[in-house]
Amino acid sequence: MTPALPRRTLLQATLLAAATPALPHPVGGAHAAAATLPAPAELPAPAAWTLRPFELKDVKLGEGLFATKRRLMLDHGRGYDVNRLLQVFRANAGLSTGGAVAPGGWEGLDGEANGNLRGHYTGHFLSMLSQAYASTGEQAYADRIRTMLGALTDVRAALRKDPAVLSAAGRFGTAAENVRGSYQYVSLPATVLNGSAAITLSAWVRPTHSADWTRVFDFGDNTTRYMYLATRNAAGVPRFALTTAGPGAEQGLDGTAALPIGRWSHLAVTLSGGTGTLYVNGAQVARNTSMTLDPSSLGTPTNNWLGRSNFDDPVFAGAFDEFNVWSRALTAAEITSLQSSRAAASAAGRGTLASYAFDETDGGTFTDASGRGLTATLRRTWGGPSHPGFLAAYPETQFIDLETRTTSDYTKVWAPYYTAHKILRGLLDAHLATDDARALDLAAGMCDWMYSRLSKLPDATLQRMWALFSSGEFGGIVEAVVDLYAFTGKAEHLALARLFDLDKLIDACAANTDTLDGLHANQHIPIFTGLVRLYDATGETRYLTAAKNFWGMVVPHRMFGIGGTSSAEFFRARGIVAGTISETSAETCCAHNLLKLSRLLFLHEQDPKYMDYYERALYNQVLGSKQDTADAEKPLVTYFVGLTPGHVRDYTPKQGTTCCEGTGMESATKYQDSVYFRKADGSALYVNLYSPTTLTWAEKGVTVTQRTDYPREQGSTLTVGGGSAAFELRLRVPSWATSGFKVTVNGAAVSGTPVTGTYFAVSRTWRSGDVVRVAIPFRARVEKTPDDPGLQALFYGPVNLVARNSATSQLRFGLHRNAALSGDLLPSFTPVSGKPLHHTLDGTEFAPFFEGTEDPTHAYFRRYEPKVVLGATDSGVTNPARSDGTTLLDEIWSAAPFTGKAALVAHVQNTVTSWVAAGLLSRPDGEKVVTTAQNASYVS
């Protein structure tokens, strides 16, 4: 009996045999030339979408809160040197970096904040530039995109080839430069030492970095038998050592001072008759007269390297000029003679065992002038990519290591497919924005390379990889791969997208089984945007069902009031919000990706809850994550949003170039992407957000312009321009807009009753000049944390108002003291003149969360209503509470709005009667409460 094939194998076979491309433009071959690739201007909308989004270029931002925030990011995008981003790519390929300094932080090279995500920030920056260009049409952004695409094209081409010497000005002539981050070294033939017992090794070096243990040379077999000269030991000074029994048995020589960075230094070691001497710039700095080992003790070493270590030390960064090896110990005078001239013109003469002048200007080999013909070769520590489509800012070794890794160690492997996703997404966005076919060619090559690796792995290996925290994180790569498939139609690309299925998670969410507790939040949120796109491409409902259920497990059960989620990057137990508040709450990436997921789900199913969430997270966490300060060097975006009392937002995460700074750049250049959607058949226009924008609906021949200062204004005015068109205008009625939502067209009220948390429809043939006015009265309200109802957040309409106070303990406030008959809590506050949305209470100012300041804030406060106060009149009665924490005042005001004072008094009477009967309130105190309700005056 033939064994059944695994599900993944069957899927791959089916896909490869009969894939149905979204576009009839298959790419020719695995590495087709850029000219053969299609360059559509718009990502094709899947048939499964019942709505269609508009492109960024079709929705222009008007002046207002969003435009002000975006302007800061646009200036950053225009001012940051993209050559710094490209440095890590060029270095990895052994190309000249033009002196550019790597961005540092998570984009750092070895020894700088790990650096194992380098390249991810370049992808984010490409996406940001692409969105900036699509939104503004400003040529400067397109020029920067094309510069980056040209550089990345050169990088991929260089990675396909053997490394070539990078020449630089030398001490005497031409030097060989080793760019930091290049992973390149010089390999000498095995016979270079020739069994000599006496020896001199001499080199001119110009270090460009102060990393410890980088080698001038290292001759040996492994980490047991070797002889090396390091530019810096752990104490920062040069060291020579020889051993046949590992580090503990090293016989060495240590210098006395650090070599200067960026300047030429001459190093020489002599060893003969048991005496070793180390010279720096002609001066003797160390001498050891009791050395029992000499180079002949090593035999014929396998590894004879310039710039590389037999240990896992950084490759030498800098330049070499003249490396010579003699089979004798030079005299001090001969060492001195090497300081002022080339070896050939010195008293020492050329090395008799090996002599390299590094005068070559191209190619990857160095001629030996000793007469022994020992040609040296420039190599990469990792060899080269397994596939010509490979593109990255670090070696392929991280991807290879992940395939056998069973535990996470981000210092070795830190989410390589996450980094690949950011680069891939940036390339796709660049193609969409500029129609530059190079971007699509690079993206297609990356996916061809990934498929060539992953398709060969067993399903069990893939499941283990993707379940690894951090190391196996792959971000939104599935979404990006499916988007690429829509362009290329290559069956392998759709098959690749399905190779990232994490079945345990997908199956649990499809069954609506909540297993999120303890999972890394932002590792998993983007998985579900990919699943929605997989559903679009395959029709497999399991994917869409899992994504919908996952969203419902997070919103609202693991959501902070500002729309964010996660604590110290992880999901916690369902329904625990107060218990997860910390300095590391609400990672900003999580909000960014939940917005993307909400948007995608709404395109399938027009449940207003998705756009209610979108408004919440956008107008609060996302806007508030951007500091209101200009800076060309930093995007000034939060990583975590601490929700502890008195927290001061950190807009410059210490390590820099973090994931959240990357997504923050993207968020700030696409604020308008979900303001409007249209039905697939063109019969309706959805207005999801109230934002000053102008929509150009080309298919209808009309424009729709919103003029508003929302959320500083409680409503919006929409004006139709252009020609005439028949369609239904669907205006979102926010879930918090409990009363007063009104719509007029050309001054006349529209019939119908708006329902909270739905869309209010106005259907007509629209003509140029038609004016729609939407009134959306705000009210102040609180949201209670589910696990601690007394801990609350204050909202005014869509805006979270935070208390600005430096106290580091929870503030206590009572809000019912002068509540309006509508239930609005705002009358208990005092507005601040000249500062919209700012109010004070008990001497503390409340301000919108979206203001990107460094004021200490309290996003949550402790509700404190010790007395029953109605209409600003104190009854003198202690405010009792039920066992669940609900107070008498809570229950009284839960019935708001009231049609008038009589309705309120009647409700107070009924509530008091109930509480007295339950033994929660004495009859005399109940009578005082009712009397107070009757005598007090209320704001309507």
- 372-to-176, 192, 317 alpha-carbon distances in Å: 21, 9, 28
Count CB-CB contacts under 10 A for residue 656: 19
Quick one: 482 and 526 in the same domain? no
Position 216 pLDDT exceeds 50:
yes
The answer to whether 462 and 472 have CB atoms below 8 angstroms apart is no
In the chain, the amino acid numbered 549 is: N
Average pLDDT over residues 356-377: 93
* Cα angle 178, 423, 161; round to 5: 40
Structural domain includes residue 590: yes
Share of the chain above pLDDT 90, in %: 92
If you search the block for the tokens 């058949």, which residue do you land on? Answer: 681
Structural domain includes residue 585: yes
pLDDT for 574: 98
pLDDT for 22: 36
For 475-517, write each residue's pLDDT tens digit: 999 999 999 999 999 999 999 999 999 999 999 999 999 999 9
The answer to whether 167 and 176 have CB atoms below 8 angstroms apart is yes
- 126-to-33, 123, 493, 664 alpha-carbon distances in Å: 22, 5, 22, 13
**Confidence category of residue 654, pLDDT binned at 50, 70, 90:** confident
Of 27-36, 526-535, 841-850, the poorest mean pLDDT is in: 27-36
pLDDT for 36: 41
Q: Write phi, then psi, for 731 (nearest 5 degrees).
A: -105, 125
Quick one: 204 and 280 in the same domain? yes
Whether the ω angle into residue 711 lies within 30 degrees of 0, i.e. cis, is yes
Structural domain includes residue 660: no
CA distance 109 to 913: 71
pLDDT for 115: 84
Taking alpha carbons only, the member of 278, 274, 263, 264 closest to residue 228 is 278
Structural domain includes residue 376: yes
Quick one: 198 and 343 in the same domain? yes
Instruction: For 161-317, list the strands marked E by DSSP.
Output: 166-169, 174-178, 184-187, 199-207, 215-220, 226-230, 239-243, 251-254, 265-272, 275-280, 283-288, 303-306
Mark 365-394 as b/e (b = at least 16 C-beta within 10 Å). Answer: ebebbbebebebebbbbeeebebbbbbbbb
Quick one: 272 and 372 in the same domain? yes
Mark which of 609, 624, 639 sits at the end of a domain.
624
Q: The tokens of 680 are what?
A: 């697939």
Quick one: 218 and 322 in the same domain? yes
Share of the chain above pLDDT 70, in %: 95
For 305-340, write each residue's pLDDT tens digit: 999 999 989 999 999 999 999 999 999 999 999 999
pTM over 0.75: yes
Quick one: 588 and 599 in the same domain? yes
Q: Write phi, then psi, for 936 (nearest 5 degrees).
A: -75, 160
pLDDT for 111: 62
> Which are the contacts of 531, defined by CB distance < 8 A and separation ≥ 6?
478, 506, 543, 544, 546, 547
Which residue blocks in 829-873 are alpha helix, DSSP H?
Answer: none
For 593-638, write each residue's pLDDT tens digit: 999 999 999 999 999 999 999 999 999 999 999 999 999 999 999 9
For 874-903, write each residue's pLDDT tens digit: 999 999 999 888 999 999 999 999 999 999
The answer to whether 829 and 840 have CB atoms below 8 angstroms apart is yes
Mark which of 380, 397, 424 sits at the end of a domain.
380
* Cα angle 669, 528, 603; round to 5: 65
Q: The tokens of 895 are what?
A: 């019935």
The answer to whether 73 and 67 have CB atoms below 8 angstroms apart is no
Taking alpha carbons only, the member of 121, 52, 198, 65 closest to residue 655 is 121
Q: The tokens of 746 are what?
A: 């050309």
pLDDT for 2: 31
Quick one: 345 and 208 in the same domain? yes
Quick one: 544 and 466 in the same domain? no
pLDDT for 44: 86
Structural domain includes residue 659: no
Position 691 pLDDT exceeds 80:
yes
Element spanning 528, H or E? helix 521-538
Structural domain includes residue 331: yes
Whether the ω angle into residue 848 lies within 30 degrees of 0, i.e. cis, is no
pLDDT for 732: 98
Mark which of 470, 500, 530 sits at the end of a domain.
500
Quick one: 535 and 485 in the same domain? no
Average pLDDT over residues 746-769: 97
pLDDT for 35: 35
Structural domain includes residue 926: yes
Structural domain includes residue 433: yes
Position 21 pLDDT exceeds 70:
no
pLDDT for 852: 98
Of 297-301, 654-658, 808-812, the poorest mean pLDDT is in: 654-658
Average pLDDT over residues 440-464: 98
**Confidence category of residue 85, pLDDT binned at 50, 70, 90:** very high
Taking alpha carbons only, the member of 79, 80, 166, 152 closest to residue 119 is 152
Quick one: 275 and 339 in the same domain? yes
Taking alpha carbons only, the member of 490, 700, 498 closest to residue 38 is 490
| Number of domains forming the structure of the chain | 5
Average pLDDT over residues 362-390: 96
Check which CATH number belongs to the domain holding 228 and give it.
2.60.120.200
Position 41 pLDDT exceeds 90:
no
CA distance 463 to 661: 30
**Confidence category of residue 655, pLDDT binned at 50, 70, 90:** confident
pLDDT for 824: 96
> Which are the contacts of 437, defined by CB distance < 8 A and separation ≥ 6?
34, 35, 37, 39, 431
CA distance 245 to 218: 15
The answer to whether 545 and 510 have CB atoms below 8 angstroms apart is yes
Domain enclosing residue 567, as ranges = 502-624
Position 108 pLDDT exceeds 90:
no
Quick one: 440 and 522 in the same domain? no
pLDDT for 7: 34
CA distance 402 to 466: 10
CA distance 424 to 442: 8
Quick one: 427 and 444 in the same domain? yes
- 187-to-191, 320, 378, 478 alpha-carbon distances in Å: 12, 13, 6, 40
pLDDT for 8: 38
